[in-house]
Amino acid sequence: MGIGMDPAAVELAHRMFDLARSGAAEELGGFLDAGVPVELTDPKGDTLLILAAYHGHPGIVADLLDRGADPDRTNDRGQTAIAAALFARSAVAVTALLRAGADPDHGTPSARQTVEHFDLPDMRALLDRTLDS
C-alpha cells in the first residue's frame, strides 16, 4: 500500500475487482451506482471491464459499457477487454465490445493477434462476422 493510501479505500477497490472477476453483477452495479468509478484500475492497470471480459461475464461487460467504460483502454501490458473476451471465448462480450466501438487492432496483442496466437477459429469467425455486419 502506497504512502497516504486509505486502507478502507484500498479494501473497497479490491472488493470491486473481486466482484468483476466473480461475476457479481448486481452487487458491483450497486457500488457503481453509489459512485465507484467505472474506470477503476488495479495495480496492473486492469480495469473492471478487462477483468469481467477475461473471466467471461458478458452481463457485467455490457453494464460497464453502458456506464461509459472505455472499450479500448489497455492495461499495463497493453491488453484490451476485447482480447480478453476473445481469449475467454465469450461471444456475447465480444459482440458487446465491438458494438461499443472496440478496435480489434488495438492493444498488444490485439484481438486479431489473440485469436491467431491461441488458434481460436470460432472467435475469429465471430470477429470477422460481427465486423462485416
Q: Which three cell numbers stand for residue 105?
A: 487492432
Note whether 90 and 97 are within 8 A (CB): no
Q: Which CATH class is domain 7-132?
A: mainly alpha
pLDDT at 59 over 60: yes
Give me the mean pLDDT over the 11-18 stretch: 96
- Looking at the predicted structure, is the pLDDT value of residue 70 above 70? yes
What are 54's three cell numbers? 477475461
Cross-strand pairs, 47 = 41
- Model pLDDT, residue 46: 97
Percentage of the residues of the chain whose pLDDT score is greater than 90: 89
Cβ–Cβ < 8 Å for 61, 53: yes
Q: Output the pLDDT for position 129.
A: 85
Residue 1 pLDDT > 60: no
CB atoms within 10 A of CB 130: 15
Give the mean model confidence (pLDDT) for residues 46-69.
98
